[in-house]
């Protein structure tokens, strides 16, 4: 549906990377785990090693899921821009090509206890 404005719409987005004091927003979602209704939103420095993202905030955020303790992070299937992707755990988010407001997803085959079968 088209919008008809009575005057020019002028706005400055507030979620630009310049407004995050050297950090960036990163969305992370766990496919087929309906306990989490939306992707996690993390505010991290681009220099954060990918391994630190996984061992720190991501591991803590997924803990409420009954499958969380069984995750083998070395066997996780990752997606970036909806394409299969293999992160370098020793490299930073920036070196892994993860920029401001990017979303990464992960799948844990065999650990889908809260989602219906595909």
Helices assigned H by DSSP within the chain? 50-53, 59-62
pLDDT in tens, 2-16: 778 788 878 888 989
Placement of tokens 């020793």 in the chain? 90
Domain residue spans in the chain?
17-107
Give me the pLDDT at residue 89, please: 97
Determine the Cα–Cα distance for residues 93 and 116; give it in Å rounded to an integer.
32
pLDDT in tens, 37-93: 899 999 999 999 999 999 999 999 999 998 999 999 999 999 999 999 999 999 999
Tokens in use for 47? 């220099």
The CATH class, in words, for 17-107 is alpha beta
Placement of tokens 């785990």 in the chain? 33
Q: Sign of dihedral through CA atoms 47, 49, 53, 56? A: negative
């Amino acid at each position: 549906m088209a919008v008809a404005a009575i005057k020019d719409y002028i706005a400055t987005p507030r979620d630009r990377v310049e407004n995050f004091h050297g950090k960036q927003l990163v969305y992370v979602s766990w496919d087929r785990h309906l306990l989490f209704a939306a992707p996690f939103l993390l505010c991290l420095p681009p220099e954060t090693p990918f391994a630190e993202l996984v061992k720190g905030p991501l591991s803590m955020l997924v803990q409420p899921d009954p499958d969380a303790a069984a995750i083998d992070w070395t066997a996780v299937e990752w997606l970036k821009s909806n394409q299969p992707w293999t992160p370098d755990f020793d490299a930073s988010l920036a070196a892994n090509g993860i920029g401001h407001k990017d979303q990464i997803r992960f799948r844990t085959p065999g650990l889908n206890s809260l989602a219906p079968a595909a």
